[in-house]
């Protein structure tokens, strides 16, 4: 299934108002991890109250010790500060990278904005070197806009 074909599935999950926000976010993680072969860890991080740190939300994949990430640390922490997408084709080439697993080769992080404020992000790790394209960025931006609607 290509990324465009997943968009109606994403909307369907977002529209399931009988589910909690976290249940819908987890279903999105499962959808992506199950249908995009190079998405090996999919999760959400959100700003932790008024602290300058991110807190792990729903995710699928290997368990992680990184449940709290300070702003500026690692790829996720940098996105919390920069408000910009961050695509890392080769994590071993990054100085400010927090290793979750030795199998991870690449990472993409896209911020989620609610009312112009960066409130969190979707984080995807891949065990495939350099798998992410502009199509992944656009698709994940679409997901973040959909997610923002249920977080407002």
CATH at residue 147: 3.30.450.40
Q: CB burial class (10 A; 0-12, 13-18, 19+) of residue 10? A: buried
Question: pLDDT digits over 54-95, tens only?
Answer: 999 999 999 998 999 999 999 999 999 999 999 999 988 887
Q: What band does 152 get if pLDDT is binned at 50, 70 and 90? A: confident
Parent domain of 147: 3-151
Three-state DSSP class for 94? coil
- Computed on alpha carbons and rounded to an integer, the radius of gyration of the chain in Å comes to 14
Count of domains forming the chain: 1
Rounded to two decimals, the pTM is: 0.96
Could you tell me the two tokens for 144? 């973040």
pLDDT mean across residues, the chain: 95
Question: pLDDT digits over 41-52, tens only?
Answer: 999 999 999 999
Could you tell me the two tokens for 128? 């495939």
């Amino acid at each position: 299934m290509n990324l465009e074909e997943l968009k109606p599935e994403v909307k369907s999950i977002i529209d399931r108002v009988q589910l909690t926000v976290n249940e819908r976010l987890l279903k999105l993680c499962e959808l992506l991890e199950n249908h995009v072969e190079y998405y090996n860890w999919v999760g959400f991080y959100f700003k932790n109250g008024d602290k300058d740190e991110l807190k792990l939300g729903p995710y699928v994949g290997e368990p992680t010790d990184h449940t709290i990430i300070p702003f500026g640390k690692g790829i996720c922490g940098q996105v919390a500060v920069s408000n910009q997408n961050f695509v890392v084709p080769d994590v071993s080439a990054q100085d400010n990278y927090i290793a979750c697993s030795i199998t991870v080769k690449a990472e993409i992080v896209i911020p989620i904005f609610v009312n112009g404020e960066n409130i969190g992000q979707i984080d995807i790790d891949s065990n495939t070197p350099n798998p992410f394209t502009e199509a992944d960025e656009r698709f994940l931006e679409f997901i973040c806009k959909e997610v923002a609607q249920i977080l407002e």
